[in-house]
Amino acid sequence: MKTKVLLFIFSFCLLVSCMKDNHFNEETNWDHYLGGADKAQYSTLDQINLSNVSELKVAWKYSSEDADVNDRSQIQCNPLVIDGILYGTSAKLKLFAVDAQKGTELWTFDPFSGAFDQFGMGTNRGLAMYSSNQGRRIFYSAGDRLYAVNPDNGSLISTFGESGSISLHKGLGEASADYFITSNTPGIVFKDLIIMGSRVSESTRAAPGHIRAFDVLSGEMKWIFHTIPLKDQEGADTWPEGASDRIGGANVWAGFSIDHERGILYCPTGSAAYDFYGGDRAGDNLYANCIIAVDANTGKKLWHYQTVHHDMWDKDLPIAPNLVTIKKDGKNIDALVQATKSGYLFVLNRETGAPLYPINELSVKASDLEGEVSSSIQPIPTVYPSFSRQTIMKDDLADRNEEASAFAKFIFETTRHDGMFEPPSEEGTIIFPGFDGGGEWGGGAYDKVENNLIINSNEVPWLCTMDAVVPSGRGEGLYKSQCQSCHGDQFQGGQLFGNVPSLVNLKSKMKRSEVLKVVENGKGVMPGFAHLGKDKVDAIYDFITGQEDPNDKIKDDSWPYPYRMRGYKKLYAPDGYPIIKPPWGQLTSINLDKAEINWQVPLGSYKELENVGLSITGTENYGGPVVTAGGLVFIAATADEKIRAYDKSTGEEVWQHELPAAGYATPAVYSVDGKQYIVIACGGGKLNTKSGDEYIAFTLSSQ
């Protein structure tokens, strides 16, 4: 009897301990964003495997019925699935719970109370769940607030913050109170803390990207790490004096990894603002473009490694590092693998930050823009292979037809293209593999059995052209500084964050008052620019609609730099495809012990090109893969609106299924009552594809 009592007490304590550390049944649940605090994107489930994957069928569909009719909404959410309930977000950022076996809705929470079209903006990539003997709560961000929601019924937990939410401006100082801030990627839970990064402006008036930890129960800020160091803090000497008072960015927008055993938080930061000109921020700019390891309990820095010095190319670290174990010289080393937009892997010792193999500081070309202070060296990893192409040569130019070939040759001969660290220029500089990778926020999947990293990449050139600021009408100057990068130099719209609308014939589409409301509040993926005020928005509207007073030469005081980037421009030939030969998207498997590529295959295809004799080209892709113990890699991500399965050992495609809209998200893998499922959010809304509002789950037809 005594033995049974002791066993019961031990089991109960173990259960409480697991809840305290926010651990659920990892075998059957998908309980963290991207599968775990280690960001492995791995499932131990093997019911679906190479022998039966062809039998997958649709198990259920769930529609939020809130896709944008103009195809400007997205769903990038990697949902949580815990104890038979799936938690996800919709195109209008509603939080919902559904039965993970049937797809039937259990509850929804709308942070905008039905007014998303007036006040909502942004996308959401996932959620964080806290569970302990203190209770459970889901944390997620919408707009500029972090919400704590009861997972049982979708109600706000009123004891958290201000009636259930806190402002993401909290702790950043009065100066940033009116600046744009949100958090597309979820924070991460450690003990009784929710640790948050942020998305901030990449232009003027950018909030600082400081990392903050909040009490999960009260919302009180517990610690802050200044990614732009304050005066006398370590790293301040890599910035000009007073930088922390006027410069923003250096933010963790891609999420965190945590080594729970060691209590170490890993923070991948983005570039400092302004992204493309740094004449006002001379120096290496710590802790921008860094992997920072901090004590998750206190926020104290343990070590850092900078992957780009004085960034001028928007080379943000796009994903939290994978926490792995690598065998080297007969020893197992706990390490991290940080993928980059350039297609490099920075592989570092998890405890010390020391590279496992040499990372060389190579000399690079200096900028010739007036006032720029570019770094003379940049870090280049050795031994580990890159997972995407990184330079464009003449032989890489498109030759699929005469028109594409002639256009590609013209671009190549009239722009700068001498490698990844060719500085931005007035002639135009080709950015390759592109502003959106190489690697992107979908991340890489880590096969813990074979010690392989499977990662997808984009390989599409973009053009970065810097314009010297010259006297102009106020509206023209404001448009160029605030709007042109996304909406284009001819108002044509673009594809940076989604299907950005054209502003051609704006006067016939929207009234002046309607434009003011959108600019103030933001809409879709567009942030709000409330700081501009009515007079400046009126001036922009007049410029776009051809009504600007030519005598209005009031200085644009919102732009302090001598240059502006003309706009984000993908280099497509007149036929609508990239100016280089395919592949334009790839899926790569790299063995981390051997530091060599196992296989590399094109990811996605354009049927219309296959029909005229071109092989599978790969497409641009957003969202990442998951790998399973069943020998499979699942990934959607592609512009051809399909989800696929690959043999993890060979890269052979073994299954595909058409989706109602492109799955620009990372799948989740889970099991309920002994049945395994794969679920993907089908939100579309990028790469000129239609928007969707469905989640689709697949299971075996025989189950």
**456-510 pLDDT tens trace:** 999 999 999 999 998 777 777 777 777 877 787 778 776 655 667 788 888 788 8
pLDDT of residue 122: 84
Confidence check: pLDDT of 435 > 50 = yes
Mean pLDDT of 167-195: 94
Predicted confidence at residue 20, as pLDDT, reads 41
Neighbouring C-alpha atoms within 13 Å toward the C-beta of 360 = 6
The pair of three-digit structure tokens given for residue 58, joined into one six-digit string: 């649709």
Choose which CATH entry (3.10.270.10, 1.10.760.10, 3.30.70.100, 1.10.620.20) describes domain 470-558. 1.10.760.10
Q: How much is the pLDDT for 16?
A: 42
Token duo for residue 526 = 């567009």
Give yes or no for residue 156 having a pLDDT over 90: yes
Helix (H) or strand (E) holding 60: strand 56-63
C-alpha 409/C-alpha 428 separation (Å) is 15
Question: Which residues, in sequence order, are CB contacts of 5 under 8 Å at separation 6+?
Answer: none
- 512: phi then psi, degrees, rounded to nearest 5: -55, -40
Tell me what pLDDT residue 497 has. 58
The answer on pLDDT for 62 being more than 80 is: yes
Contact 335, 325 (CB under 8 A): yes
Q: How confident is the model at residue 573 (pLDDT cuts 50, 70, 90)?
A: very high
Amino acid at 518: V
What CATH architecture applies to the domain 168-384? 8 Propeller (2.140)
Stated length of the chain: 703
Residue 25 per-residue DSSP state: -
What amino acid occupies position 219?
A: G
Which of 220-229, 343-352, 516-525 has the lowest average pLDDT?
Answer: 516-525
DSSP β-ladder status, 105-109 and 145-149: unpaired
Say which amino acid occupies 337: V
Q: Given a cut of 60, is residue 24 above it in pLDDT?
A: no
Q: What is the mean pLDDT of the chain?
A: 92
For residue 498, what pLDDT is reported? 62
Mean pLDDT of 70-78: 95
- Please, which residues have CB within 8 angstroms of residue 476's CB and are 6 or more apart in sequence? 543, 548
- For the segment 549-563, what is each residue's pLDDT rounded down to a tens digit? 767 666 666 789 999
Dihedral sign (CA 117, 119, 125, 131): negative
Query: Residues 34-68, buried b or exposed e (16+ Cβ, 10 A)?
Result: bbbbbbbbbbebebbebeebeebeebbebbbebbb
Hey, how many other C-beta atoms are within 10 angstroms of the C-beta on 156? 17
Compute the average pLDDT of residues 588-605. Answer: 98
Rounded CA separation 346/338 (Å):
5
pTM, entire model: 0.92
Indicate the range of 51-65, 383-397, 473-487 predicted with least confidence.
Answer: 473-487
Q: What pLDDT score does 524 carry?
A: 66
515, 475 contact by CB (below 8 A): no
Averaged over 106-130, what is the pLDDT?
Answer: 92
225, amino acid identity: F
Domain with CATH 2.140.10.10 in the chain: 168-384
Task: Assess contact for 195 and 216: CB atoms under 8 A.
Answer: no
- DSSP, res 572: B
Tens of pLDDT, residue by residue over 319-338, are 999 999 999 999 999 999 99
Residue 70 token pair: 């103009």
Please check the confidence at residue 8 and state whether its pLDDT lies above 60.
Answer: no
Residues of the chain with CATH 1.10.760.10: 470-558
Predicted confidence band of residue 21 (pLDDT cuts 50, 70, 90): very low
Question: What confidence score (pLDDT) does residue 433 get?
Answer: 96
Phi first, then psi: what are they for 211, rounded to 5°? -90, 135
Share of the chain above pLDDT 90, in %: 79
Q: Is the pLDDT of residue 12 over 50?
A: no
Region 642-671: what's the mean pLDDT?
A: 98
pLDDT at 205: 86
DSSP letter string, 94-138 = -EEEEETTT--EEEEE-TTTT-HHHH-B------EEEEETTEEEE
**Residue 455 in tokens:** 């990662």
Alpha-carbon gap, residue 92 to 320, rounded angstroms: 25
What average pLDDT score do residues 60-71 get?
95
Backbone angles phi and psi of 14, in degrees to 5? -65, -40
Residue 703's pLDDT band, with cuts at 50, 70 and 90, is low
From the number of C-beta atoms within 10 Å of its C-beta (0-12, 13-18, 19+), residue 107 rates as middle
Question: How many CA within 13 A on the CB side of residue 188?
Answer: 28
End-to-end CA distance of the chain: 41
Most confident of 10-14, 84-88, 172-176: 84-88
Q: Which two tokens stand for residue 212?
A: 């903050």
pLDDT tens track for 253-303: 999 999 999 999 999 999 999 999 999 999 999 999 999 999 999 999 999
Supply 512's token pair.
């002046």
User: Cα(527)–Cα(168) distance, rounded to whole angstroms?
Assistant: 14
